[in-house]
Amino acid sequence: MAKRTKESMATTSNVVSSIKKPRKPKGFLCITKTQNPKKVLFVVPDIVGDKGGATAPLPGVAYVAGYVRHIGHEVAAVDMRIDRGMKNLFTKIREFKPDMIGLSFMAMEFKPVYLFIAELKKEFPNIKIVAGGAGGSTFEDQVIKDTGVDYVITREGERALVELLEGWPLEDVQGLVYLKDGQIQKNVLRQFDFDVSSLPFPAYDIFPIREYIDAKIPIVTSRGCPYQCTFCAMKKSMGVAWRPRTPENIVAEIRHWYTQGFRQFHFVDDNFTLDMDRAEVLCDAIINSGMKIKWDLRNGIRADRVNERLLQKMKDAGCFYFAFGIESMDQQVLDKMKKNLKVEKVYEAVKMAEKVGIPFGGFFIIGLLEDTFEKFMKSYEFAKATPFEEVRFYNPIPFPGTELYVELVERNLLRFSVDHYLNDSSKTFSEEPIFATPEFTVEERKKALKMGQKLMMYKIMVKEFGKIPGTIAYEAWQIKPLRTVIHKPGAFIWRQLRRAKKRQVLAT
């Protein structure tokens, strides 16, 4: 095993300790099989952001559905990103006759979801609707105020939804927000369960699994992240307690889908390599399973939580792409965002990744507090000079409840209302800064966002089409009037390329 520095061990000593000796709550499966089965219809609203289409089913919804089904209730799903149109949904509801509709949504682009809920309530006033996901955890009681939805579940939703279906007194359902006697009640937050390996596998089978753009099955190998990044909104929904699944449990889920013809997987953890020993054991388990699979880590991993041995094992186990969550190449900016990362660790990690030979990318954020245009240029030049297969330069989104949001409000630095920037200015390609500081002005931020966007698109074009055709496509993309004309055809071509890759993967 490669040696670890005292610094890296200190960073995660409390986390590793919790892995070795986890708390022992009652566990997800402490509720017995139901004696009064109900019907739940899970609905995913038609929100795809800037992805151009639905690439895969949502793991969070599938996990809750799998748990509810395990208890003995009947479940079905409609993913409106695939099966578009309210008419089809209404037909499904009338045919299935659910006792409850479960709806998960993100904090971004929530206004269309609110309008969607209003239509559901109008058409089916007697069916209880429960909302959850990152949007429910972020906005909590505001969701009820704005939509009239019956319940909101915050944090992990598996047990809370089952308790609702089992008829528990509402005040006893932890993490529940609801209306009682005209007043909104917010119950105590539910403590996170550590025994995530006891959960049934996500019920992807109730979704149109072969109709998504990609042929990759999402795999959640752990939940939560112990770090305190000021911009991160995931702490409200997924928590800071890191809860890993066992390698045996993960491999069993992969094998379940492997036997059905799937060969590519998407590990969607926020912190896959937090415990490097555990990540190595998982890679060994995949290798020893005999399954020839490919998998990627597009959510990003920390640059200080890898070593050469782990990267090599990831490659041997089938990892074909991962991204480093870097954010900035300036130490002051990293320290202000509480990233707990040293710039030199990024350089070391990149050298290791180049040596091992897994294609990799980098994530950066433009304009967090303490950032300046000159500091941004450090990140830009690094991203340009490093052989990243992909780069992403993000316009920072101040989500309500984050430290970043609180400080921006206190300093009166926000340029738009929350409703506006979460719905209209939040796309990856947005060139409009949501906030500005005296040391990094609006005009400087716009310039930086355009530069980051161009570098991002150049690398994507070269990756998708090759050096020469990709460069030609990039030059065409830079012509703004032409870009507007080719946007829809380009998105169509992108979807067809992805589907072609999917057919190739499933065929093998």
pLDDT in tens, 413-443: 999 999 999 987 655 557 799 999 999 999 9
Residue at token pair 């415990």? 275
The predicted structure's pLDDT at residue 4 = 39
The pLDDT of residue 142: 93
The pLDDT score that the predictor gives to residue 15 is 43
* 50 vs 350, residue with greater confidence: 350
Give the model's pLDDT for residue 485.
56
Taking 50 as the threshold, does the pLDDT of residue 175 lie above it?
Answer: yes
Range with the poorest average pLDDT among 5-14, 112-121, 448-457, 491-500: 5-14
Three-state secondary structure readout of 226-289:
CCCCCCCCHHHHHCCCCEECCHHHHHHHHHHHHCCCCCEEEECCCCCCCCHHHHHHHHHHHHHH
Which stretch, 108-112, 376-380, 503-507, has highest mean pLDDT? 376-380
Q: In what order do the strands lie in the sheet with 360-365?
A: 216-219, 264-267, 294-301, 319-327, 360-365, 390-394
Q: Which of these, 279, 289, 340, lies nearest to 311 by C-alpha position?
A: 279
Of residues 438, 440, 435, 439, the one with CA closest to residue 414: 435
pLDDT at 22: 36
- Residue 323 main-chain phi, psi, to 5 deg: -125, 145
Tell me the torsion sign for CA atoms 421, 422, 427, 433. positive
Closest CA to 206 of 64, 390, 38: 64
pLDDT above 90 coverage of the chain, percent: 74
Query: In what order do the strands lie in the sheet containing 183-186?
Result: 74-79, 39-44, 100-104, 128-132, 151-153, 176-180, 183-186
Grade residue 395 by pLDDT with cuts at 50, 70 and 90: very high
Read out DSSP for 319-367?
Answer: EEEEEEEEE-S-HHHHHHTT----HHHHHHHHHHHHHHT--EEEEEES-
With 80 as the cut, is the pLDDT of residue 87 above it?
Answer: yes
- pLDDT tier, 19 (very low <50, low <70, confident <90, very high otherwise): very low
Q: Are 252 and 285 in contact (CB under 8 A)?
A: no
Q: pLDDT tens across 449-502, in order?
A: 999 999 999 999 898 888 888 888 888 878 877 666 555 555 555 555 555 655
272 close to 244: Cβ distance less than 8 angstroms: no
The CATH number of domain 37-186, selected from 3.40.50.280, 3.40.50.300, 3.40.50.1370, 3.40.470.10: 3.40.50.280
Say if residues 433 and 367 touch (Cβ distance below 8 Å). Answer: yes
CA quadruple 327, 236, 217, 93: dihedral positive or negative?
A: negative
Angle of CA points 280, 222, 69, to nearest 5°: 130
- Number of Cβ within a 10 Å radius of residue 260: 12
pLDDT tens digits along 275-326: 999 999 999 999 999 999 999 999 999 999 999 999 999 999 999 999 999 9
Do 98 and 128 touch, CB atoms closer than 8 A? no
Task: Name residue 219's beta-bridge partners.
Answer: 267
Q: Which residue type sits at 150?
A: D
Q: Which helix (H) or strand (E) holds 387?
A: none
Note whether 37-186 and 215-465 share their fold: no
Query: Could you give phi then psi for residue 89, rounded to 5 degrees?
Result: -65, -45
The predicted model scores a pTM of: 0.88
C-beta separation of 434 from 414 below 8 A: yes
Q: Report yes or no: 212 and 55 within 8 Å, Cβ to Cβ.
A: yes
Report yes or no: 340 and 311 within 8 Å, Cβ to Cβ: no
Decide: 328 and 364 in contact? Cβ < 8 Å. yes
Q: What's the angle, vertex CA 464, arms to CA 460 and CA 465, rounded to 5?
A: 115
| CATH (one of 3.30.420.40, 3.30.1490.20, 3.40.50.2300, 3.20.20.70) for 215-465 | 3.20.20.70
Task: Show me where the domains of the chain are located.
Answer: 37-186, 215-465
Q: Give residue 49's pLDDT.
A: 66
